[in-house]
Amino acid sequence: MGNADNIKIGVKGRAYVADVGTSFPTTPTAVWGTGWVDLGYMHPDGLEEALGEDRTEINAWGEEAPVKTRVKSRDGSFKITFLETTAALLQLYYAVSADDMTSHAAVTGPPAVPQFLSFGTGQASPGIERALGIDIIEGDEIERIMIARVDVSDRGNRKRSADDASSFELTFKPLAAPSGGQAVQRFLTNVSLT
């Protein structure tokens, strides 16, 4: 018989980025430490995770189905739409490093000028690699996903209108972990191995 307690719902979530190599928390409830930046409010659609495999099929003479398959590669992606406009999100969306951004202080005037951030785009960029952490939370249930190294593989269109928030839809692609470690690590509370 089924157990309704095993049904997990992503009621809310948080996402964090840090420089590649920053230490991850060691438990699902530990606070994200120094170097991690909270990316703020997310769209109610939450997190969309996709997994994929590329396989080689070995066929045999006279057999209709493959006799063996081998995984050539596994990949995945994590898509989240963020609602806040922050320097960290602008860096990810526009593939601009913090070193290429300038923050201008407010001037009281005359003439008065508000604080503003400036940066340019349009040149080829190797991308902005980060470590990514995601918490999916339902009450005291937490699923923590820790990705050692990601790049933004897809960016949704930004719409600016009076009807909705100007958001940042980002799809993160896990890359091979530094030093050959696990690319994606997970903690899930209240899930038994047996």
Per-residue pLDDT tens listing for the chain (194 residues): 888 888 888 889 999 999 999 999 999 999 999 999 999 999 999 999 998 888 899 999 999 999 999 988 878 899 999 999 999 999 999 999 899 999 999 999 889 999 999 999 877 667 789 999 999 999 889 999 999 999 999 999 998 888 888 899 999 999 988 887 788 999 999 888 88
Classify residue 98 by its DSSP letter.
Answer: G
| Separation between Cα atoms, residue 65 and residue 46, nearest integer Å | 39
| Separation between Cα atoms, residue 117 and residue 94, nearest integer Å | 13
| Separation between Cα atoms, residue 29 and residue 4, nearest integer Å | 23
Structure tokens at 105: 């202080």
The pTM assigned to this predicted structure is 0.86
Structure tokens at 165: 């928030």
| Separation between Cα atoms, residue 194 and residue 192, nearest integer Å | 5
| Separation between Cα atoms, residue 6 and residue 104, nearest integer Å | 51
